[in-house]
Amino acid sequence: MLGIWWFPMLARLRPTLDFMPSPVQDKPGLLIRDPFYFSDATLIIPPVLVESLTFFDGDHSSLDLREHLVRLTGDLDVTGLQST
C-alpha cells in the first residue's frame, strides 16, 4: 500500500490585520499586528520573505510554501523558515 501525503492548506490571512512598514530601524520589513488582539504577537517579516505571504490565501498548501522557500533560499532545509 502506498502512503498518501496530505499537505494542509494554509489559512487565509485575516483582512483585519494591520500591515505597515517596520518602524524598527535595524529590522526592516513588513510589520503585522492584530488590532483586535486575537493575538498579541507583532511580527516583522523580512523584505525577502514578504512575497511568501501571498501563499496564505486559503488556496495554497504548506507544500506550496515549502517549494517557494526552497527556490528563494536555494536550501532544501527550510523548516525553520516555514515554521516561524
Instruction: State the alpha helices, DSSP H only, in the chain.
Output: 62-73, 79-82
Per-residue pLDDT, 7 = 79
Q: How far apart are CA 74 and CA 12, in angstroms?
A: 26
Full pLDDT tens readout for the chain, 84 residues:
455 567 789 999 999 999 999 999 999 999 999 999 999 999 999 999 999 999 999 999 999 999 999 999 898 988 877 665
Q: Which of 49, 42, 39 is nearest to 80 (CA)?
A: 49
Domain boundaries, the chain: 13-45, 49-84
The pTM of this model reads 0.80
**pLDDT of amino acid 50:** 96
pLDDT number for residue 5: 63
